[in-house]
Amino acid sequence: MKRWMLGTFVALAGIGVLAAAMVPVRSHLSIATPALVLVVPVVAGVAVGGLASGVLVVVAGFVAYDVLFIPPYGTLSVGAAQNWAALAVYAVVMLIVARIFAFLRRARLEARRDADATRRLYELSNLLIGDQPVTRVLEVITGTLRQAFGADWVSVMIPDPTDDDRLVVAATAGRLPDDDLTGLVPLGGRPEAIQPGPVIRSGADGVVRIALVARGRPVGLVVMAGAALEGRELEVVRTYANQAALALEASQLREQALRADLLEQVDALRAALMGAVSHDLRTPLASVKTAVSALRRAEGRSALSEQDREELLALIEERADALDRLVANLLDMTRIQSGALELRRAITPLADVVEGGVRASAVPSGTVTVDLAADLPPVDVDPVLMEQVLANLLDNAARHSQEGSAVAVSARARNGVVELWVTDNGPGVPVAEREHVFTMFSRLGAQGRSGLGLAIAKAFVEAHGQTIRVEDAPGGGARFVVTLPAAHVPVEV
C-alpha cells in the first residue's frame, strides 16, 4: 500500500472514532471544541502519508465537522454566519497545520538521508585511509549504493587487466536478471565504455550508469537499476561516486605497489639463487671435469700411479657428494617455503645426532673433535632434520676455518634444553652482521658467509620451537649455538 493511501486510511479512521465519541455529547460542547479535536487525525494523516494525505483528510474533516457538529445536524447547511466563520477558520487552520507537519516530516526525512549519506561517505573515507583490498572496497560500494538509493541491483565494472578497452563485472549487490547480465558483461557483445563525463547517464532501459573518475582517470563504472535519482539524491550520488572512485583507485594502487614489491623481491631472490647455485655448481663440476680429463689422458698409459688414480676417483666422489648436498639443500628450502615441512620427533641420544651429522657433512671425521658429557639427557627432535642442521653447521665452519684446523662440537644441559655448540677458529662474524648471517644467499662483508646451509639450519631449528645464534668463540672464531628440547625420560627407563 502506498504511503499516502495508508495515511488517509489512518486519518479517516481517527476522524470516525473521535466523531463517534463526541456526537453523543455535542450539545454540551462549544462549536470550537470538535474543530480542535479533529486536528489530531489530520496530524496523524500527514505524519504517515505526507501532504497529499493531509489535504484529503482536511476535506473529510471539514465535511464531518459541518454535518455532525454545526447545526442543523445531519445536513451540509451551515445556518448562522458564525458557523461559516467557524468552518472557514477550521479549513484554514487545518491546511496550515497539514502544511507545517508535511514540511517538518520532509525535513526530518531529508535530515535522516543526509545523516545516512554522511555515514556512508565516512565509511568510504575510512577505506581511503585504511588498508583494504580491492574486493572489500567493491563490496562496500555496491552494497552501500543499493541500500542508500533502493536499487534493484548494483554492479561495479572495472577495466579488464588484459584489455583496457573492455570492462568486466567485478562486484554485484542484488541479483542481476539474465538479460541485464548479458548486456553488461563484455562477452555479451555490448561492453560499456567509461566516459570521464558526464558523471551520470540514464539509459532508456531505466539503468543508471555512473562513471568512477579519480583525478581525471576513469577507474570503473557503476551500473544501477531501479534507483530513483532526483534532486538531492543526484547530488549525493555524485559526491559518493567521487569518494568511491578515490577509494577504489587508492586500493588498486596499494595492490599494484605490493605486487611490484613482491616481484622485486622475487627477482632479487632469483638473482641470488642463480648466483649462489651457479657458483656452488661450477666449483665441484670443474673439479670433476679436471679429474675425469686426467683419467682419460692417462688411460692406456702408465703416467698415473695407482695412488694418483685413487685420489682422482676420491675427488670425483667427494665433488659428486657436494653436488648431491646442494640439490638436497635446494629441495629442503623448497619444502620450507611451501610449508610442507613435517617433524617426525623421536627421543634420541644426542651422541647419535652428532654422529649422523658428522657422517652427513663434507668434513672429514678426523678434523672434527666431539666433546659430549656423559650425563646429557636425550633430546626430543626429528633426528634426520637435526643431523642436517649439524652437517650444515660443520660444512660452514670447515669452509671458514684455517686450513688443517679442527672444528669442535660440544654440548651442555641448561634450563631444560640442551645447547649444542659448533666452534671454528676462522675470522668470526661481526656483531652487525649476526642478524643477517642466517638470511638466504646473504653476502656479508669480506667474510663471505652465505648460501643455503645456514638458512636451512635456522628454519629446521625454529620448526622445533628452538633457537640458533652465533657468537664469538673463546680464542677467536665463531661459535654457533643451537638449543634442543631435552626429553623427559622416567628414571626407570
292-324 residue pLDDT tens: 887 777 766 556 777 777 878 877 887 787 677
The confidence score (pLDDT) of residue 249 equals 81
Region 133-255: CATH code: 3.30.450.40
Residue pair 394/386 in contact by the 8 Å Cβ criterion = no
pTM confidence score: 0.45
Which of 141, 102, 101, 136 minimizes the C-alpha distance to 120?
141
Evaluate whether 133-255 and 346-485 have a shared fold.
no
The confidence score (pLDDT) of residue 228 equals 66
Q: Where are the domains of the chain?
A: 3-112, 133-255, 285-338, 346-485
The confidence score (pLDDT) of residue 482 equals 93
Residue pair 478/423 in contact by the 8 Å Cβ criterion = yes
Query: Which carries the bigger pLDDT value, residue 91 or residue 130?
Result: 91
Q: Which of 120-147 are b and which e, b meaning 16 or more Cβ less than 10 Å from the residue's Cβ? A: bbeebeebbeeebebeebbbbbbebbbe
The confidence score (pLDDT) of residue 418 equals 92
Whether pLDDT at 199 is above 70: no
Three cell numbers at 404? 688443517
Whether pLDDT at 230 is above 70: no
The confidence score (pLDDT) of residue 440 equals 63
Query: Which carries the bigger pLDDT value, residue 316 or residue 88?
Result: 316
Which of 70, 91, 59 minimizes the C-alpha distance to 23?
70
Pairing of the two strands 217-225 and 368-371: unpaired
Q: Which residues pair with 471 in a beta bridge?
A: 479
Which pLDDT band, with edges at 50, 70 and 90, does 70 fall under? Answer: confident
Pairing of the two strands 368-371 and 407-414: parallel
User: For the segment 109-141, what is each residue's pLDDT rounded down to a tens digit?
Assistant: 777 777 776 776 666 566 555 667 888 888 888
Mean pLDDT computed over 7-19:
82
Q: Which residues pair with 421 in a beta bridge?
A: 410, 481
* Terminal CA-CA length for the chain: 85
Query: Which carries the bigger pLDDT value, residue 282 or residue 159?
Result: 159
Whether pLDDT at 447 is above 90: no
Torsion of CA 470, 476, 477, 479, to 10 degrees: -30
Q: Mean pLDDT score of the chain, rounded to an integer?
A: 75
Whether pLDDT at 264 is above 50: yes
Q: Which SS3 state, helix, strand or coil, does residue 108 take?
A: helix
Mean pLDDT computed over 233-249:
76
Whether pLDDT at 484 is above 90: yes
- Among 3.30.565.10, 3.30.70.100, 3.40.640.10, 3.10.150.10, what is the CATH number of 346-485? 3.30.565.10
